Amino acid sequence: MLRLAPPAWQAIAAHARQAAPEEACGILVGRHEAGEWLALRAEPCLNVHPGDRRRHFLIDPERHLALQREARQQGLEIVAFYHSHPEGPCSPSEEDGRMAHPWAPMLIVALRAGDVAEARAWLWQQGAARAIPLAVAP
């Protein structure tokens, strides 16, 4: 299960709305314990994809590395990644699968008419995506 602290979810939803019509992207920091990913905070990142950012995303690699160091110093870790699909489905694309980490879920937030319509968490294992439970709770 991917569990989001309410402030993390609020930051993700606000970032997705603000970035539209481009894809928002970011990193979730927290703890992974007992088979559950707990995201204590969301760290919005710049979408530095060199092409059409309405259909693609690339998390700024410098920010990714900085967050990894910051999390370690705080006794935390990167537990998941997120991005939005403006006006698109909440299911992962082939490109999402190529970018996925097998150890960390990917949260996809679908927007419709500029507002969050759905969110789902996915985990890639052995080249296939499977939905995992998602909850917003402390």
CB atoms within 10 A of CB 125: 10
Q: What is the pTM of this model?
A: 0.94
Q: Range of 99's domain? A: 2-136
The residues, any chain, with a CB within 8 Å of residue 36's CB and separated by 6 or more, are 1, 2, 3
CATH number at residue 101: 3.40.140.10
pLDDT one-digit tens code per residue, 60-114: 999 999 999 999 999 999 999 999 999 888 999 888 888 888 889 999 999 998 8
Of 23, 70, 95, 118, the active-site residue reads 23
Express each pLDDT in 9-48 by its tens digit: 999 999 999 999 999 999 999 999 888 999 999 999 999 9
Non-local CB neighbours of 10 within 8 Å, separated by 6+ positions: none
Quote the number of domains for the chain: 1
> Do 11 and 44 form a contact (C-beta atoms < 8 A)?
yes
Active site residue 23: yes
